Amino acid sequence: MLELDLGLRLPSIAIDVRLDVDDEILVLFGPSGAGKTLTIKMIAGLERPSRGRAVINGTVVFDADERIDRPPQQRNTGYVPQRSGVFPHLTAAENIALPLARGRQRLTRGTAHEQALALLERFGLGQRAGAYPAQMSGGELQRVALARVMALQPDVLLVDEPFAALDGPVRAGLRREFREFQRELGVPAIFITHDIEEAAVVGDRIAIMVAGQIRQVGRTREILDAPVDREVAMLAQSGNLFDGTVAERGGETVIETPVGPLRVPQCRLAPGSAATAVIRPEGIRVMREDRSVERFANATLLDAVIQDIADHGSLTSVTSTVGAGRITVTLSPTAASNLGLERGKRIRLAIPPAWVHVIPGEPGEGLARGRYDGGR
């Protein structure tokens, strides 16, 4: 268990973080400069907080009021920086054996070497034991870094964008290996990224960090479907965002937007209030011409013209103009083919109210910023 209530005041940023992390992977997600790296450095003891308290596995490692500040070597954290941090003058096996021989385990040189070789085999690097970092690929270096951390048997894992510089297939494999690695250790882990796809694949939960503050914490689906504000929605690439105004029509609440009035399941905002409607692309239905509209009786129906179709492999993304705005829909390539979708074609879209998430807008915003802000 990792319990954090830390603050850091610097000329460039003010950080305030309150988090409880169980034996899970919490992804710390946000833009560059949000304070993510400084946060895990405070946990590791590499940056001194201005206030607060940090508890790792029941041990208080920092308490400003009690003047407790354990040095990094007494915190038993497994820290993997962006650039792997392996020693360039040591072989892969020597990099892993070093903490085994000199760390809290204090193994003999021979035993440390044997365990290092076993860990290299575990990470698929058995044939690279004698290789130096300069002779290894980026993916191999990250595997050595993870193996070295595993050798330490840490109480918490702190990983800072470890796969950002790697190509797609290597990155995908290492994400999977990291999840297996964390489960094997059974310790809390904080994994930093600014890639929402990586956050969704790696994390059990996601914490959105903006300008030193945690804006929202939740499961991936919660963050994508129900962002707490417009900035979080844009960062998480929640899909279609339409700025508008709350209104009453025929006894039901709608959001007046550039694409038309959108029915919503419920809305706590008063009529006349600025609001933003968030709609996931996969929640919008493209209606077949031969199907009755009765099954979409409660949905918002919109006439659209297809502007662009993009094939993403397992998904097809269709962007259409609707009124003064644009809407993007995602569907399977098979569905897109069966519907005969092509540029310039007129289609009808159905948006079930359950897929419309409403967040407060900024005063004076109204319809001024109605637009599409991107889909995942």
Whole-number pLDDT of residue 29: 95
State the Cα–Cα distance between residues 139 and 8, nearest whole angstrom: 33
Between helix 138-152 and helix 109-122 the angle, nearest 10°, is: 130
Structural domain includes residue 376: no
Same domain? 200 vs 313: no
Contacts of 67 (CB under 8 A, 6+ apart): none
Whole-number pLDDT of residue 249: 82
Residue 96 sits in a domain whose CATH number is: 3.40.50.300
Same domain? 246 vs 199: no
Same domain? 323 vs 255: yes
State the Cα–Cα distance between residues 37 and 82, nearest whole angstrom: 10
Same domain? 280 vs 326: yes
Structural domain includes residue 373: no
- 117 burial via Cβ count (<10 Å: 0-12, 13-18, 19+): middle
Whole-number pLDDT of residue 138: 86
State the Cα–Cα distance between residues 220 and 218, nearest whole angstrom: 6
Q: Which residue has the higher pLDDT, 99 or 291?
A: 99
Q: Which residue has the tokens 């038309």?
A: 260
Q: What is the mean pLDDT of residues 205-228?
A: 94
What DSSP letter does each residue of 19-55 carry, written as one string?
Answer: EEE-SSEEEEE--TTSSHHHHHHHHHTSS--SEEEEE
Whole-number pLDDT of residue 293: 65
Structural domain includes residue 374: no
Structural domain includes residue 366: no
Between helix 109-122 and helix 92-102 the angle, nearest 10°, is: 130
* pLDDT band at 291; cut points 50, 70, 90: low
Structural domain includes residue 7: yes
Same domain? 273 vs 335: yes
pLDDT tens readout for residues 14-72: 999 999 999 999 999 999 899 999 999 999 999 999 999 999 999 999 999 999 999 99
> Residue 76 forms beta bridges with which residues?
none
Q: Is the predicted pLDDT of residue 73 greater than 60, yes or no?
A: yes
The closest of 132, 131, 91 to 113, measured between CA atoms, is 91
Same domain? 44 vs 158: yes
* DSSP state, residue 281: G
Name the domain boundary from 164, 195, 225: 225
Same domain? 28 vs 121: yes
pTM of the entire structure? 0.86
In terms of residue numbers, what domain contains 104? 2-225
Structural domain includes residue 231: no
Structural domain includes residue 235: no
Same domain? 27 vs 128: yes
Contacts of 229 (CB under 8 A, 6+ apart): 215, 359, 360
Same domain? 104 vs 205: yes
State the Cα–Cα distance between residues 247 and 270, nearest whole angstrom: 8
Same domain? 171 vs 306: no
State the Cα–Cα distance between residues 261 and 108, nearest whole angstrom: 72
Name the domain boundary from 225, 251, 280: 225
The closest of 28, 68, 2 to 194, measured between CA atoms, is 28
Pair 279, 299: CB distance under 8 Å? no
Calculate the average pLDDT of the chain.
Answer: 89
Same domain? 169 vs 284: no
Whole-number pLDDT of residue 252: 86
3-state secondary structure of 102: helix
Q: Is the predicted pLDDT of residue 370 greater than 60, yes or no?
A: no
Provide the domain count of the chain.
2
State the Cα–Cα distance between residues 92 and 80, nearest whole angstrom: 15
pLDDT tens readout for residues 296-346: 778 999 999 999 999 988 899 999 999 889 999 999 999 999 999 999 999
Pair 122, 154: CB distance under 8 Å? no
State the Cα–Cα distance between residues 204 and 202, nearest whole angstrom: 7
Structural domain includes residue 26: yes
Pair 259, 325: CB distance under 8 Å? yes
* pLDDT band at 363; cut points 50, 70, 90: low
Whole-number pLDDT of residue 188: 97
Pair 35, 13: CB distance under 8 Å? yes
State the Cα–Cα distance between residues 204 and 182, nearest whole angstrom: 11
Pair 84, 174: CB distance under 8 Å? no
Whole-number pLDDT of residue 374: 42
Same domain? 212 vs 244: no
Query: Rounded to an integer, what is the distance from CA 222 to the centroid of its chain?
Result: 12
Share of the chain above pLDDT 70, in %: 94
Joined tokens for residue 165: 């510089």
Whole-number pLDDT of residue 259: 93
Residue 333 sits in a domain whose CATH number is: 2.40.50.100
* pLDDT band at 372; cut points 50, 70, 90: very low
Whole-number pLDDT of residue 257: 93
State the Cα–Cα distance between residues 178 and 363, nearest whole angstrom: 44
Name the domain boundary from 198, 225, 252: 225
* pLDDT band at 167; cut points 50, 70, 90: confident
